[in-house]
Amino acid sequence: MNRSSQDDGFMMTELLVSLAILSIALVAFFELKRDLHHRQETELRLIEAASNEANGLSLLRRINPMRESVGFRKIGKDLTLKWKAVQLGKARPILEWRGRETPDSAALFSVHYAIERQGSKMVEGDLELVGWTDTTSDEQASIR
């Protein structure tokens, strides 16, 4: 069987159908790519927020709310940790071994904190911390 010259190559309708199928596949591919990129950006923001909160809480746990009930600290170059502590109960004396009291006392505080970037809150929350007076460190500081 000899092929006629009309059978050489593709017909215009075949070419258009294949281009339509290809365009549908490309649209689906680019929508998937855009969706994955959006999800990645969202996940990176969540990871950054969790990391910032962990850094802020680590710094906040070192603060004595009995001495600094309100304050702020810089975290990195553009983040600020702010807090406000409210005493929950009466300060109690700290006991030494064998039940002897010291001149020091401790109290429980409710601390509201926020981590801000350029004035907008990134993370905020509440926790409880123990605040204390420490006369021995005051005496050591005055000796120096």
User: Helices (DSSP H) in 5-113: which residue ranges?
Assistant: 12-60
Q: Specify if 1 maps to a domain.
A: no
**CA 72 from centroid of its chain's CA atoms:** 17
Q: What's the token pair of residue 14?
A: 């075949």
Q: Specify if 112 maps to a domain.
A: yes
Q: Specify if 89 maps to a domain.
A: yes
Q: Which residue has the tokens 């969202």?
A: 42
* Total domain count, the chain: 1
How many angstroms separate the CA atoms of 31 and 93, rounded? 65
- For the entire predicted model, the pTM comes to 0.67
Q: Specify if 2 maps to a domain.
A: no
Check residue 141 and give its pLDDT: 44
Check residue 67 and give its pLDDT: 92
Helix (H) or strand (E) holding 138, with range, is helix 135-143
Check residue 140 and give its pLDDT: 43
Check residue 94 and give its pLDDT: 83
What are the average pLDDT values for consecutive 10-residue runs of the chain, which has 144 residues?
61 91 96 97 93 91 93 90 95 78 89 92 92 69 41
Q: Given its phi and psi angles, is residue 105 left (phi above 0), alpha (psi -120 to 50 degrees) or beta? A: beta
Check residue 98 and give its pLDDT: 72
Domain of residue 40 covers: 9-143
